[in-house]
């Protein structure tokens, strides 16, 4: 089995409905530093770092990358969910999506979810992935065989552990649940 940690990005500097790719807020930077400290204490000597292409995920990866003196690979598979609506309507779409099941979703969202799972199944060395709230939920739903799109409320900077093996991806632990709002 190969360990994989999915880390939700730190708090964004703007809400999901206000900006298509915000960086981290000051609080988000502190959350990224705290996650790096926690991770460094639990990681094996050799580990790969991967990030979503979004700025807030990449910025969350930076403190750990500095501590480990290594680079961060960018992988589009771990990108945020693509809301099929204009920026101003994204928050309403998100609230609706989070009340739905996977059976209600069309091919584009299933392809997004399947792409995440496929990327995880290809992991061959211990890996930390810096990603998003709904990516973590999609993986947890896959692991549990659950229909609801919303499986947990990953807090900003939270760390979720999975294992990848011949049987696929399995959930080990869900990290800290939200104290902050999804924005």
Tens digit of pLDDT at every position of the chain (183 positions):
999 999 999 999 987 667 778 899 999 999 999 999 999 999 999 999 999 999 999 999 999 999 999 999 999 999 999 989 988 898 899 999 999 999 999 999 999 999 999 999 999 999 999 999 999 999 999 999 999 999 999 999 999 999 999 999 999 999 999 865 555
Q: Nearest 5 degrees, angle CA 90-CA 108-CA 101?
A: 70
Sign of the torsion formed by the C-alpha atoms of 11, 16, 155 and 75: negative
Quote the CA–CA distance of 84 and 104 in Å, as a whole number.
15
In the chain, where are the structural domains located? 102-125+134-162
Q: Which contiguous run of DSSP H or E holds residue 159?
A: strand 159-165
The number of angstroms, rounded, from the C-alpha of 177 to the middle of its chain's C-alpha atoms is 13
């Amino acid at each position: 089995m190969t360990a994989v940690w999915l880390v939700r990005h730190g708090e964004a500097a703007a809400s999901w409905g206000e900006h298509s790719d915000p960086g981290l807020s000051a609080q988000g930077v502190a959350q990224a530093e705290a996650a790096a400290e926690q991770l460094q204490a639990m990681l094996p000597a050799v580990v790969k770092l991967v990030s979503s292409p979004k700025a807030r995920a990449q910025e969350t990866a930076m403190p750990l990358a500095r501590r480990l003196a290594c680079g961060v690979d960018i992988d589009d598979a771990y990108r945020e969910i693509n809301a099929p609506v204009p920026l101003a309507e994204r928050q309403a779409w998100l609230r609706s999506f989070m009340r739905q099941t996977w059976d209600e979703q069309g091919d584009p969202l299933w392809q997004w979810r399947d792409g995440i799972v496929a990327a995880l199944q290809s992991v061959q060395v211990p890996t930390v992935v810096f990603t998003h709230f709904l990516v973590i939920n999609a993986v947890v739903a896959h692991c549990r065989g659950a229909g609801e799109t919303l499986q947990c409320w990953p807090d900003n900077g939270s760390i979720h552990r999975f294992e990848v093996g011949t049987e696929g991806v399995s959930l080990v632990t869900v990290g800290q649940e939200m104290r902050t709002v999804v924005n």
